[in-house]
Amino acid sequence: MLDSVVVPPEEIARRTVLRSDWVPCKSAFIDCRTPGSDRKDNYSFIGPGVSQNPDQHVNLREPHGFNLGAAGMPHGTTNSLHLHFTAEVFINFDGDYQLRWGPDGRQGEYRSVDGDVVSVPPWIFRGFTNVGADEGILLTVLGRDDPGGIIWGPPVLEEAAAHGLYLTSDNQLVDTAIGQRVPAGAALIEPMAQAEIDRLDTFTVEQFRGRVVHAPDRVWVEQPFLCSALPGGRAQLSPVIGYGMVEDRRARPVLADPHGFGLAWLRAEPGEGVLTHRHDRTQVLTAKAGRWAVTLNTGADARTVELGPLDTLSVPPGAWRSITLLDATPGRSATPGASELLVVTGGEDRTLLEWAPEVVSAARRAGRMLDANGFHAPAAVLAAATEDD
């Protein structure tokens, strides 16, 4: 059983990142003056990510086990080819993007649309362009608290230098066009050697597509939780990365390889959601469609946060929480009548839930219990089981 954690109102407010709280950085990366890449907005909500600008605004700096941010890119804007050492996952929150990968960006391409989740493998060059009519939003989740920086394709560094931009070995951007100088004793990043580039992994279009979960591809678990048979607890869950907090023993994620976090979609109809529970992981909730109520704490300490599209709440480990859909305003990828919440949970393995006593009692009356492995099962069957001495 977890220690009791009460999240005070000021801490709840601090952990709530509304869409109106987003602060863009227009010079987060070395390609910020390269034509075609000079209109990007970089957002860091949880952790600094791989931003190379020390002035990057970060909403929440404490470690979560992952970094969460976003890229805002007007039509025609390109994010130049670069390489990550940890997982980079794109969640398309309304946009049309051409993704490309490989040392020259010609190994393969994928056209990402609203509702996609794309897990790009580490150690391959990737870039993307907004080919949609409007400015789209790509949410990005990076594995680990420290993703280790990035490596730019050699042509990116060469073109940046032509605009007076250089990168130090400790990942700091130096802008000589505005009078900055390379710090004494600091070394500049050199382009990756061609021999090392030649050793990088290759991915076919088919292999890359296997790391994409298109909205119509989602597999929904009808009863993912102990509370799924109870009024107010009838949300459905679609595990995408890792097993996460699903309590249906038959559920399988699309991607089970290590990312440093789990990612799933939650959907519900108005008045439904997930009843009161807690666990020992950091968890971040971001509304995709609809208006959601997330209540933290219980009793007199209970406080409710409302999340609309692109609003985010970071829930600390050990805090009691419940989730309810208030109003359904589905986006293009949502099921009619339902709305969706993105759930990102720290850790590689399953997240075991502790349910509020009243939920456990109500579920037992409805004929459901959790077995010794934390999966829901018929109470009548479990009651007949005998324990070894």
What is the CATH code of the structural domain delimited by 218-383? 2.60.120.10
The domains of the chain are located at 31-213, 218-383
Tokens of 199: 């050793």
Domains 31-213 and 218-383 in one fold = yes
Distance CA 309, CA 140 (A): 16
Tens place of pLDDT per residue across the chain (389 aa): 788 899 999 999 999 999 999 999 988 787 877 887 788 899 999 999 988 888 899 999 999 999 999 999 989 999 999 999 999 999 999 889 999 999 999 999 999 999 999 999 999 999 999 999 888 889 999 999 999 988 988 888 888 888 888 878 777 788 888 888 878 778 888 889 999 999 999 999 999 999 999 999 999 999 999 999 999 999 999 999 999 999 999 999 999 999 999 999 999 999 999 999 999 999 999 999 999 999 999 999 999 999 999 999 999 999 999 999 999 875 554 455 569 999 999 998 999 999 999 999 999 999 999 999 999 999 999 988 865 54
Exposure b/e, 226-263, CB count within 10 A at least 16 = b: bbbebebbbbbbbbbbbbbbbbbeebebbbeeebbbbb
- The residue assigned the tokens 């359904």 is 328
Nearest to 382 by CA among 226, 233, 243, 232: 226
The pLDDT of residue 166 is: 81
Q: What is the pLDDT of residue 32?
A: 76
Position 32, amino acid: C
Q: Compute the distance between CA of residue 141 and CA of residue 91 in angstroms, rounded to an integer.
A: 8
- Give the pLDDT confidence score for residue 173 in this predicted structure: 82
31-213 has which fold?
Answer: Jelly Rolls (2.60.120)
Q: What is the pLDDT of residue 257?
A: 94
What pLDDT is recorded for position 334?
47
| Partner residues linked to 237 by β-bridges | 221, 266
pLDDT of residue 181: 84
pTM score, two decimals? 0.92
